[in-house]
Structure 1
């Protein structure tokens, strides 16, 4: 998505309110106070030059952001995540804290001098995990069977990546988890090795279940679900929020697959229901963070002169936009004000029930037109602020976030199908009575958009839900979710034997 790619080079905040849409700590003293123990800082109102058109109240509400204390930093598992890829002989938590300190050092130097060395990039504890030999490919119907067929590769991966797996599981040992985003351009993002490690854990569960180690397998699956819940709740970036939801969907698929091969797993149905009860659906915080990054970019591009860094990922974008002549074609605050209703609308969409989505999307689109290269902006803004109009056209595609919000509701519907699968097996519902049985289910086990009963495909012997968005993790058609009730039973032959 264009908004996301631009936001990677943006000025971000840590959980800031949408009203805090100004420079956000564009001085070293403010930046330092933000991360020092026991201090808060205020977002400052800025004015456009040369017109001095002040930011309107809707996009400049003053917000106090609590800075993490030293004790809070010690309690935060986010630093373990940052240090996930550290060498085996180093402590992941301490390595992650060092990386964070280098991020902050780079940011402060950039604010003080207009130039920074790549301290964070040089300290980045990037891992080298590659689970491609055993990864369940996108569109695969039965990941459980796929994993068993790749037993040898999985055992090798587990041995080679033991330190990473232990660090990942240790994310439950710290009292808290809160992602902290350093607010500046060109600072390296955290390693996302946890995506591969999470699937590696599910691979290990598959081998356990196939070896009649159901107790160990279910316990490990529970730990993985709790970690993903923690990551989802504490994520402040769009990438991490979407990654955790993707991993939760993969886990839902795996549980459904395993139930079809391992009938003894039903003895642990209460545990499986508890695992499936972990289902974060609110994308509002992630969209607020994306808005903060987007508006931070819009304000930072107004800086007079050219501020340069040793990192070059987005120099082709930031250098010309930061040059002096920019002030004659760009009004950052007017641009932010024009885009503010769009972000407000997306946050609202992320926090309403799926049943209200259609009505709200239509209502918002009547107030905030969809993308049209800035043509929906007031004429004066297009003429006096052509650069701002163009940047808004890249960052205000209403359909983009609505797509992700609907995909989240689709994944929730799939979770309901798996819950129905377990419940139908518990009650031993046969095909002839399935449609009637589905009609008797409560709203929380129905189509989240319409509250109508889920469908039953008697020919395929599968529970069916037709979603609204394509899902690359599914086979064609990618918007149709099917959960077969029963296939084969018993352990799959170990290819090594």
Structure 2
């Protein structure tokens, strides 16, 4: 029988969309890699329906198109130069714009599809117990093409159009942050938001006097955007589907000997108990993720404590593993993986503040007494409310992040 935590996960995954299906950006998002002559929204809808057939990878072959496959070597090199939004990328794009009318073949079609995605008023990810994942590379490549247009607007000194373009992109990915139900979707949004900020910063460095700060940048990330409740509920549903599918396959194909062995070892793997305990752990993790950023202490140790409460609430040690031992061991193996993804999302507020502060410092036209100005700023590290770090030797503003392997997020001034 499902426990209270499992029922809460089911409830979250059953929440309805806030608008009409045709206005849901998820469908274009899910079908974005479809061939350019196809309707991405319809492809996304068809793929979502197929997931609900619970066939785990069976069914039709999904058509996917890398729209860069027809590009010239010069275009590909230019695109590779912009893996990161930095000065080199900016200079390469601007230089190319001066000599070529068309930098990338089929750019208009790709950007039009991306525009249609951004125009959707809401994002509601539909999940299923069985799900297949499309290629998200074309979607993130399209965002790069979108941001290249921001570079062109900056060069043309169209400050209002530039701010609107960055705003529309930033607002959409914040919607995805708030309503994604799978970690991969949420991480696509996290990376897109960081790229938007990086592109805006490079534009500001090169066109300080012309740039209007995008309004969406100035709004702190909300509780709903930083909460991991929805995405952990979606992950629970996905794992629950895998557990049920594996158990049902064993049940339907077992021999007489296997039936006897199953009876003997049945206490070692109980699907419902596994799902219940997984739900208990993920719900506790979700609640932890919703605390104020300066109160959160998410790490392997704290995650282990939450896992212990879920998988061995009575502190029975090895005795606890007599019943559903296999299920508890399997779920315990990946208990800490979620914390890293949660921290990556939380880092966005610090990265957002860091960019705003960097712009304010540049606007003063003087880099003297930098440490004092950073110390007195209201824009601080959200995890401890202390001033951001300043590397005087390398003239870098630094955020001591928690989710990136490199740990430090830096902006050179």
Secondary structure of the residue aligned to 1:356 is coil
Match of 2:109 among 126, 143, 163: 163
Distance in 1 (alpha carbons) for counterparts of 2:57 and 2:173? 34
Q: Does 1:128 align with 2:84?
A: no
Q: Does 1:182 align with 2:118?
A: no
Retained in 2: the 8 A contact 1:330–1:388?
yes
Distance in 1 (alpha carbons) for counterparts of 2:76 and 2:184? 21
Q: Does 1:72 align with 2:20?
A: yes
Match of 1:96 among 44, 56, 60: 44
Shift of 1:190: 3.7
Distance in 1 (alpha carbons) for counterparts of 2:226 and 2:339? 13
Question: Counterpart in 2 of 1:335?
Answer: 274
Deviations 1:251-305 (A, max 9, x none): 1122222222222334x13xx3434537443333212211222233233332264
Secondary structure of the residue aligned to 1:482 is strand
Retained in 2: the 8 A contact 1:84–1:125?
no
Question: Counterpart in 1 of 2:216?
Answer: 274
Shift of 1:169: 1.0
Shift of 1:456: 2.8
State the TM-score, normalized to the length of structure 1: 0.67
Shift of 1:66: 4.9
Match of 1:482 among 407, 410, 413: 410
Distance in 2 (alpha carbons) for counterparts of 1:411 and 1:67? 26
Distance in 2 (alpha carbons) for counterparts of 1:191 and 1:202? 20
Distance in 2 (alpha carbons) for counterparts of 1:260 and 1:411? 21
Deviations 1:114-137 (A, max 9, x none): xx9933x42x24231348631456
Question: Counterpart in 1 of 2:328?
Answer: 389
Retained in 1: the 8 A contact 2:33–2:139?
no
CA RMSD across the alignment: 3.7
Deviations 1:372-430 (A, max 9, x none): 9xxx875344234343133223332x3x222223333333222211111222234x163
Retained in 2: the 8 A contact 1:85–1:164?
no
Greater RCO, CA 8 A, separation 6+: 1
Distance in 2 (alpha carbons) for counterparts of 1:469 and 1:83? 29
Deviations 1:81-116 (A, max 9, x none): 233233444333233323333444x33xx5xxxxx9
Matches within 5 A, 1:321-470: 328=265, 329-358=268-297, 365-369=304-308, 378-396=317-335, 398=336, 400-426=337-363, 428=364, 430-442=366-378, 445-470=379-404
State the TM-score, normalized to the length of structure 2: 0.79
Retained in 2: the 8 A contact 1:439–1:453?
yes
